[in-house]
Copies of this chain bind each other. A is one copy, B any other.
Amino acid sequence: MNAADIAKIAGVSRSTVSRVVNNYGNVTEETRSKVLDIIKEYNYVPHASAQMLAGKKSKIMGLFIIDTKDEKEGNKMCTSSYFSPFTDAVIDAANKQRYNVLISMINEDNDYNNVKELFQNKTISAGIFIGAKNNEPAIKEIIEEGYKIAVIEQEVAGEQDPFSKCIVVNSDSFGGGYQATKYLIQLGHKNIAHLCGDMEQLTAISRIEGYKKALLDAGVSIKNNLIVKGDYTEESGYKAVKKLLLKEKLTAIFIANDSMSIGAMRAIEELGLKIPEDISVVGFDDIEVSRHLQPSLTTVRVPLFQMAFMAANNLIKANDENIDFYANYKIPVELIIRNSCKQMEV
């Protein structure tokens, strides 16, 4: 059952069937309803590929989740606590506008080639990237080929930067790092450590900057031996904090994400220390588990739902209206105070 069949049955031309299907204006009401009836009766659905080949654009957008950490069994789930609400929201936003979303994971650099192919072979007409390292050249290449792109957490380095030619949605990582650290300072802490995230990502870079600025503004000196490196995985949090506590004296630690905080809490506990009595902890992201931890984790909430909606809706708009629309959003974050920090005694 194709357009020609419908045309024959309805006694009109294929052109007219097409006009009805696409809801164009230049058809009599009578013709339209006659054709519509036949379409319904025979349950005719236009062949998407034929439509595309003839000029319609794809209603499929890509969502690409970058996670190039070496995967142990455990990690996967953790990273997905961050990506999963984002994914849900993208699908939700897309479906509402009759778009579909094709999701793919990027675990190694080579996977970017598959993504590029998806654009080139016209399967998708737009794409969202989340989890990429800052300045990722593979994404820049795709943007430069002229495809419609939205990126989460990317720095735009001036007008020459390809990232200025897409939709960028960032959270205020600097502000979040600042707030988190300031909160610890206000509680009376002096020796506040920081566990960094994967420094290839913008979030990690900005969160540590916020941390440093807060210390600076409060006149607390920055001690480099209190700053340690992680890679955003739970395991890295565990190791880094265990090592740190064995060497340094501190009463509080600001950790660049919640997954590492979970590992850190395990390390602290294993060393016989109590949270928050001995060590105060602030995380970042507010993933689902954080409110269920013992003690519940004080953290900075990143509004991933909202960011997903902005990325998806802007992208769809640009695609539907066939316009070049570029933007650079910075979404505010919020400190969520729970039970992992305590006021220092005076």
Contact = CB atoms under 8 A, between A and B. Distances in A.
Interface of A: 43, 45-50, 52-53, 60, 76-78, 80-81, 84-85, 87-88, 91-92, 95, 100-105, 111, 114, 117-118, 120-123, 262, 288-289, 292-294
A118 B59 CA distance: 11
B100 A123 contact: yes
Contacts of A288: 77-78, 81, 288-289
Given A53-B50, A53-B53, A45 B95 contact: no
Contact of A104 (B95, B117, B293): B95
Q: List the 4 closest A-B pairs by CB distance, nearest first.
A: A294-B294, A49-B49, A45-B120, A48-B121
A120 B77 CA distance: 34
Contacts of A104: 91, 95, 100-101
B102 A100 contact: yes
A276 to B, nearest CB: 15
Looking at A49, A52, A77, A293, the one whose CB has the most chain B CB atoms below 10 A away is A49
Contacts of A92: 105
A294 B265 CA distance: 14
A30 to B, nearest CB: 27
A314 B236 CA distance: 36
A316 to B, nearest CB: 15
A76 B88 contact: yes
A341 B97 CA distance: 48
Contacts of A84: 77, 80-81, 84
Contact of A53 (B49, B60, B111): B49
Contacts of A95: 104-105, 111, 114
Contacts of A85: 76-77, 80
Contact of A102 (B77, B81, B101): B101
Contacts of A76: 85, 88
Contacts of A43: 120
25 contacts: A43-B120, A46-B121, A47-B121, A47-B122, A48-B123, A49-B53, A50-B53, A60-B102, A76-B85, A77-B85, A78-B288, A80-B84, A80-B85, A80-B88, A87-B103, A88-B105, A91-B103, A92-B105, A100-B104, A100-B118, A101-B102, A101-B104, A102-B103, A292-B293, A294-B294
